[in-house]
């Protein structure tokens, strides 16, 4: 009797909902509401606060067995230890636990599908299902062959009713916890359909412990096409770009489980992921951490080789430390090095680093570059007639005021803290 009453109530809700929404099917409304209803089913470890899948009582983080908390305040007493996996290049720095979702975005032709397919290279991250809205199964198989990985099971999403067809495919996925699901891509589903599909994918990832990659297209401004929630809702936001030198970069600017990073990479003729060769020239490390770039000195944003300091543009801000070396023809000996800095009148050696130079150094060394330090630059310049910026400014001022160079006080030779009177003399 109770079951019959419940069925009549649901049927009444469907009819009323369809009337109120002007013809939108009740099935679509229920799909829209399902992620909200299922969100309350999320369970958390009472000791470390890590998410526990439905029906599983052992925490994947602290390995303790207890009654998971749901619909209550969580007060963790210890830090969660995220289970570690080892993704292949260029994903090798990614922290990606079970149940976490990734948004992978770029413009057309950069290689989103190939980069996602590379995940099938390791046993830890096997792609259990590949949903395709843009390509035929034979094209997906060609991508797998090109990068030399096994082709995963493919679900071609119907163009007639893509949303419901994709949902039927998800219901048939036989994968267990930790499996990777790729949806390529959400963009053809439209703004509303993409958001609905994303909500369902996030819900299934949390419930079944799947690792899900959702591929999106970007516009000319490098913004994800469609709703902003396609970027905000997934746990990890990954962007695939190319710089002016045709080098691919995987940039993870948001990760709720680990650090952000940027990784240069490429594909050789055999489809293997390789690291670009930076040994031919010296680079400056530009951008803001973690979105860093290796820019060849004198070859970007209008700067002129052989004429240091000329019109670098907005993106090149930390190549000034290399200008003295270029002026004296010393840069060739530092091919394969990278650095970041500028000339400064506020330091004794006339050089300065940016505040985050340690992160820039680690980024350069991760990509096979040697770090060119201030001490090395000062030592090499010491054998030339180069003078620090403070000395050059003092000479320029003296020339303007008509003071003889020999009459100039030797400010740089005075002990630190020496007081100078108004006439420029020291006691």
Is 109 found in the same domain as 253? yes
Tokens representing 158? 């119907």
Neighbours of 5 (CB within 10 A): 9
Residue 350 — left, alpha, or beta (φ > 0 → left; ψ -120 to 50 → alpha)?
left
Residue 40 confidence (pLDDT): 42
Distance CA 57, CA 219 (A): 44
| Residue 163 and residue 243 in one domain | yes
DSSP letter at 133?
S
Do 174 and 218 fall within a single domain?
A: yes
Answer yes or no: do 71 and 53 share one domain. Answer: yes
What radius of gyration, in Å, describes the C-alpha atoms of the chain? 29
Please indicate, yes or no, if residue 426 is contained in any of the structural domains. Answer: no
Tell me the longest C-alpha to C-alpha distance in the chain: 108
Report d(CA 113, CA 292) in Å as an integer. Answer: 24
Nearest to 39 by CA among 14, 72, 70: 70
User: What's the confidence (pLDDT) of residue 152?
Assistant: 96
Please, which residues bridge with residue 51 across strands?
44
Same domain, 368 and 292: yes
pLDDT at 382: 92
Q: Which pLDDT belongs to residue 3?
A: 47
pLDDT at 258: 92
pLDDT at 403: 58
User: What CATH number is associated with residue 222?
Assistant: 3.40.50.300
Distances (CA, A) of 7 to 3, 26, 27: 6, 14, 15
What is the rounded CA–CA span in Å between residue 222 and residue 228? Answer: 13
Q: Report which of 280, 304, 283, 307 is spatially closest to residue 293, judged by C-alpha positions.
A: 283
3-state secondary structure (DSSP) of residue 360: helix
Residue 243 and residue 307 share a domain: no
Contact 70, 56 (CB under 8 A): no
* Same domain assignment for residues 234 and 362: no
What pLDDT sits at residue 311? 46
* Element at 212 (helix H, strand E): strand 211-217
- What is d(CA 312, CA 295) in angstroms, rounded to the nearest whole number? 11
Phi-psi region of 272 (alpha: psi -120 to 50; beta: other; left: phi over 0): beta
User: Are 264 and 294 in a shared domain?
Assistant: no
Q: How far is CA 69 from the centre of its chain?
A: 32
Burial of 130 (0-12, 13-18, 19+ CB in 10 A): buried
Is residue 89 a contact partner of residue 265, using CB atoms and an 8 Å limit? yes
28 lies in some domain: yes
What DSSP line would sit under 178-201, residue for residue? T-EEEEE-SGGGHHHHHHHHHHHH
Give residue 73's region: left, alpha or beta (phi > 0; psi -120 to 50): beta
**Whole-angstrom distance, CA of residue 388 vs CA of residue 371:** 21
| Cα–Cα distance, 151 to 125 (Å, whole number) | 13
75 and 163 housed in the same domain: no
Q: Are residues 270 and 137 part of one domain? A: yes
Tell me, yes or no, whether 201 lies in a domain.
Answer: yes
Q: How far is CA 209 from CA 53, 72, 180, 407, in A?
A: 6, 22, 9, 77
Same domain, 301 and 287: yes
Range of the domain at 53: 41-81
| pTM exceeding the 0.85 threshold for the entire prediction | no
Closest to 215 in 3D by CA, of 124, 135, 97, 139: 135
413 domain-assigned: no
Burial of 122 (0-12, 13-18, 19+ CB in 10 A): middle
What residues of the chain score a pLDDT lower than 50? 2-3, 6, 9-10, 13-24, 26-40, 302-306, 308-311, 408, 411, 416, 420, 424-426
Quote the pLDDT of residue 398. Answer: 86
Both 304 and 268 in one domain: the answer is no
CA neighbor of 104 nearest in space, from 259, 298, 240, 292: 240
**Would 53 be classed as within a structural domain?**
yes
Domain count for the chain, please give it.
4
């Amino acid at each position: 009797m109770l079951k019959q009453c419940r069925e009549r109530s649901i049927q009444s809700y469907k009819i009323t909902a369809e009337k109120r929404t002007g013809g939108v099917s009740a099935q679509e409304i229920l799909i829209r509401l399902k992620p909200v209803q299922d969100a309350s089913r999320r369970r958390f470890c009472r000791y470390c606060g890590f998410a526990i899948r439905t029906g599983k009582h052992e925490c994947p983080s602290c390995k303790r067995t207890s009654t998971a908390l749901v619909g209550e305040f969580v007060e963790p007493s210890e830090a969660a230890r995220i289970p570690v996996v080892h993704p292949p290049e260029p994903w090798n720095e990614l922290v990606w636990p079970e149940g976490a979702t990734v948004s992978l975005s770029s413009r057309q032709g950069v290689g989103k599908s190939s980069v996602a397919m590379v995940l099938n290279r390791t046993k830890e991250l096997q792609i259990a299902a590949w949903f395709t809205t843009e390509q035929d199964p034979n094209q997906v198989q060609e991508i797998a062959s090109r990068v030399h990985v096994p082709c995963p099971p493919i679900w071609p999403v119907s163009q007639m009713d893509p949303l419901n067809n994709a949902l039927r495919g998800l219901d048939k996925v036989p994968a267990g916890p930790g499996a990777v699901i790729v949806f390529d891509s959400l963009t053809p589903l439209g703004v509303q359909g993409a958001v609905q599909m994303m909500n369902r994918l996030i819900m299934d990832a949390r419930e079944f412990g799947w690792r899900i990659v959702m591929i999106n297209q970007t516009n000319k401004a490098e913004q994800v096409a469609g709703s902003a929630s396609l970027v905000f809702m997934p746990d990890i936001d990954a962007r695939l770009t190319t710089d002016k030198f045709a080098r691919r970069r995987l940039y993870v600017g948001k990760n709720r489980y680990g650090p952000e990073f940027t990784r240069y990479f490429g594909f050789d003729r055999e489809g293997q992921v390789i690291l670009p060769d930076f040994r031919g020239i010296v680079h400056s490390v530009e951008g803001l951490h973690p979105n860093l770039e290796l820019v060849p000195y004198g070859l970007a944003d209008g700067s002129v080789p052989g004429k240091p300091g000329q019109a670098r543009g907005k993106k090149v801000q930390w190549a000034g430390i290399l200008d003295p070396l270029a002026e004296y023809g010393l840069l060739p000996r530092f091919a394969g090095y990278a650095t970041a800095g500028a000339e400064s009148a506020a330091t004794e050696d006339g050089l300065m680093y940016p505040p985050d130079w340690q992160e820039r150094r680690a980024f350069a060394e991760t990509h096979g570059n040697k770090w060119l330090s201030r001490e090395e630059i000062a030592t090499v310049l010491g054998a030339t007639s180069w003078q620090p910026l403070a000395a050059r400014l003092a000479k320029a001022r003296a020339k303007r005021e008509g003071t003889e160079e020999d009459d100039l006080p030797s400010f740089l030779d005075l002990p630190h803290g020496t007081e100078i009177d108004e006439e420029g003399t020291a006691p």
